[in-house]
Structure 1
């Protein structure tokens, strides 16, 4: 069983810091990340012995409110500045329309390339080549949190008739699996059935994310 499937995910409704700081932050890198990526980042840290990486997660619910991502990242970067050798933002563009990249450039910090996590999990080049426009994507996190991040925020628990308005142009639910977990696969199939979509599972692992963190 992979480390990701045995690590309890940190809370997703508040900011938190995992790991302690070395004296004066010498040689340490702070990852300011989306809470939806916490489990995967912690698994890679453990598997690769990346003890120089500290992790601070912003609320995963910002996934549903991209206009709040840039201010949250800016606040976190400014609060940590001077305490680390490097700060790296573990978000892709994530619906900010280029504003997050502009903010990171202004702040002098790096970030993950790509339009969103679905792209970098599959590999940005592979994802772009597919050119899919009728696929709705779920990751391990979103399969686990489907009701909290998809079903209830869209009001489908109260108004199931909205399903056609939201998903009428989709054809397939694509589950991008970071871990080989049969229970998550069954849950993802159930999500597809609830949305009235065909189901496809792709084992992506961590995609481009592992290489990005490995270079820090």
Structure 2
């Protein structure tokens, strides 16, 4: 699977009949490519994936309800459900809902933290306070998820108002892809920010999925 062509569609493994010991991953669509890659590389064939639209990140107040609906819809078909969302701006509501539903979720305040590794991200403290982060997905989808939703395609004069307090664009790369590095650098130029490249790989995302794969 390459880039998701349409963020408004639900993606899944396509399995209809499920045997015992199956795990459902309910994830943000922005993580679909990475999760499918990890599934393939590690042979986690007992794990299925359902992705909610990545555009929910533009409306974090809707994430908790959407995840809860997905859990209830699929609970009877699976032995275990794991939510591949961090807090993602829900102010602790997603964790509280997952606790109430009896399902686990990945740790961390957001994907930038768990891609870097939650401990490493926390150790940086305020060093990255004025940084704007992009992942592989956001570099590929920069116009759709950053430029256009912020109205910069229509009102470029808003750039300095929106990004005036940022100094750096940090590209957290999950893969070593020179073309994406060039595009990320161009994104930094468009935003008037200095550019920093960090190869994070999959960070705590891989560790968390591995723990689920082994456990179930």
TM superposition score normalised by structure 1:
0.94
8 Å CA contact 1:22, 1:28 repeated in 2: no
Aligned mates of 2:10, 2:62 — CA distance in 1: 14
The one of 17, 22, 26 aligned to 2:20? 26
8 Å CA contact 1:35, 1:60 repeated in 2: yes
Residue 4 of structure 1 aligns with which residue?
none
Is 1:166 paired with 2:157? no
Aligned residue-pair number: 209
Residue 95 of structure 2 aligns with which residue?
101
Extract unaligned runs of 5+ from structure 1.
1-6
Residue 35 of structure 2 aligns with which residue?
41
Deviations 1:91-117 (A, max 9, x none): 000000000000000000000100000
Residue 152 of structure 2 aligns with which residue?
156
Aligned mates of 1:110, 1:27 — CA distance in 2: 16
Aligned mates of 1:118, 1:84 — CA distance in 2: 29
Aligned mates of 2:124, 2:11 — CA distance in 1: 36
Is 1:124 paired with 2:118? yes
Alpha-carbon deviation of 1:21?
4.5
Residue 7 of structure 2 aligns with which residue?
12
Aligned mates of 1:8, 1:87 — CA distance in 2: 25
Aligned mates of 2:211, 2:17 — CA distance in 1: 20
1:74-89 counterparts in 2 under 5 A? 74-89=68-83
Report SS of the residue matched to 2:12.
strand
Is 1:72 paired with 2:66? yes
Report SS of the residue matched to 1:81.
helix
Alpha-carbon deviation of 1:164?
1.3
Alpha-carbon deviation of 1:22?
4.5
Extract unaligned runs of 5+ from structure 2.
none
Alpha-carbon deviation of 1:187?
0.2
Residue 199 of structure 1 aligns with which residue?
195
Moved over 2 A (4+): none
Deviations 1:57-79 (A, max 9, x none): 00011111111101110100000
The one of 129, 142, 146 aligned to 1:146? 142
Deviations 1:146-203 (A, max 9, x none): 0000000000111111111111010000000000000000000000000000000000
Alpha-carbon deviation of 1:142?
0.2
Aligned mates of 1:14, 1:50 — CA distance in 2: 23
Aligned mates of 2:76, 2:151 — CA distance in 1: 43
Report SS of the residue matched to 1:170.
coil
